[in-house]
Amino acid sequence: MEISRKLEPPKKGFSVFEFEGRLLRAHSIMHKYKLDALFLTMPANIRYFTGFDTQFFHSPTRPWFLVIPYNKKPIAVIPEIGKTLMEMTWVEDIRTWDSPNPNDDGISLLFSVFKDLKIKFNSVGAELGMEMSLRMPWIDFNKLLEKQKQTFLDATQAIWEIRTVKTKAEINHINFICKAVSSCYYSLPKIINLGETERQVSEKLKKNIIDSGADSIPFMPVVSGQNGVSQIISGPSDKELEKGDLLFIDTGSTYDGYFCDFDRNYAIGNASDEVREVYDLLWLATEAGINAAKPGATTGDVWLAINKIIEDKKLIKNNVGRLGHGLGLQLTEPPSHSFKNETKILENMVLTIEPGLEYLPGKLMVHEENILVTKDGPQLLTTRAPKELPIIN
């Protein structure tokens, strides 16, 4: 279904009330996991709790730190160059140093912050687990380990417990970018032609997505091949579209930091019966996955619902470790829809449903939609892919 009117984008940024709510949730979960503080270095985690976003996150030269005590507001420990921008957020306690400084890149300031913490559990949670990373030199982190009286623990589970359930404001952002990109996918066959290159297709789609309100497009694999594609992770090439090609496009576009992540498939000129059959199969598998994503179910249940449709056709089995994931400030977030995964699906999670399979040796197809889990069941955020494979003539 075509979206004829341009969706009104939500107001950018979030209220102090929104950030206070996130902090209260964090404090509650920190008590649950017996943490005196969270020690955060990842851009997405810092942005989640502060609203702070800098282009300097793209540079590995300077570390950026956020400490969240279990009983206080966040404390930013950042390079001096970021002070003015951080002062525009709701964060009041901002401590800075001249960076880069190989001899002391904020470590003395961190010592001071940790020294002043109110000790209740004698532990600090850090980004040490799966889908987390420490954005600082290991040598510097080791100094903290050696000299701090608190024990550093892996806070991965606590952090994701805070972030995986989205607020209404977050959902509005994700819904907007999903709807905007859905409209661009729908109109794509009208603006591309046989003989154009993957790169030209990518440029046209990116322009339309930006014109529709997106801020950035960090992720856009564009791949084509006769009767299917051999991989789905490369950027576009100068290969020309030919009759009989399957064109696969995936995108992670953002609005105010929040991602959509879904793909579409198109046949160029014509499609073989086999390609049509696989497309139809994955459409049904996606439907099964969507319907299984209800509060109280597990992500393993979603995997089983999808996989049953695929296995019933006795084609080559899917060869990826999961069939969808969480979505938000990052392109991919927990949880994963994987075999025997017991992670409970909760109301207000945003998830991707992503069945894929290898139907011939070296020939892949993947479908993907984005959904919101409501108390009444799943709600599509993307506009559903056409039930029949679109043909571009």
Domain extents for the chain? 16-163, 168-392
Spatial separation of the C-alpha atoms in residues 63 and 57, rounded to whole Å: 9
Entry field: residues in the chain: 393
* Bridge partners for 154 per DSSP: 126
Q: Which residues contact 41 (CB under 8 A, 6 or more apart)?
A: 63, 64, 65, 66, 127, 133, 134, 135, 136
Q: What is the predicted pLDDT for the residue at 2?
A: 46
Fold of the domain built from segment(s) 16-163: Creatine Amidinohydrolase; Chain A, domain 1 (3.40.350)
Q: Are 186 and 2 in contact (CB under 8 A)?
A: yes
Q: What is the pLDDT of residue 7?
A: 80
On the 0-12 / 13-18 / 19+ scale of CB atoms within 10 A, 252 is: buried
What is the structure's pLDDT at 312?
A: 75
Residue 201, classed as helix, strand or coil, is helix
Look at residues 102, 105, 117 and name the one whose alpha carbon lies nearest to residue 70: 117
Q: Give residue 36's pLDDT.
A: 98
Nearest CA among 103, 110, 91 for reference residue 41: 110
Name the β-bridge partners of 179.
none
Residue 102 is given by DSSP the state T
Residue 333's alpha-carbon distances to 59, 158, 160, 189, 361, in angstroms, are 22, 14, 8, 31, 30
d(CA 353, CA 289): 6
CA–CA gap between residue 78 and residue 66 (Å, rounded)? 8
User: Thinking of the domain 168-392, which architecture would CATH place it in?
Assistant: Alpha-Beta Complex (3.90)
- What is the identity of the amino acid at 34? K
Nearest-angstrom CA–CA distance, 115 and 109: 10
Which residues in 330-389 belong to E strands, given as ranges? Answer: 333-336, 350-353, 356-360, 363-366, 369-374, 377-380
H-type alpha helices, 188-292 = 198-211, 273-292
- Omega before 335 within 30 of 0, i.e. cis: yes
Mean pLDDT by runs of 10 across the 393 residues of the chain is: 67 98 99 98 99 97 98 98 99 98 97 94 97 97 92 98 98 99 97 97 98 98 98 98 98 99 98 97 98 98 96 65 95 96 98 95 96 98 98 93
pLDDT given at position 219: 98
Alpha carbon separation from 368 to 20, 52, 92, 250, 251 (Å, rounded): 34, 30, 41, 9, 10
The closest of 27, 81, 82, 31 to 49, measured between CA atoms, is: 27
Q: Cβ-count burial of 57 within 10 angstroms (0-12 exposed, 13-18 middle, 19+ buried)?
A: middle
User: What pLDDT, on a 0 to 100 scale, did the predictor assign at position 1?
Assistant: 44
Residue with tokens 């069941």: 377
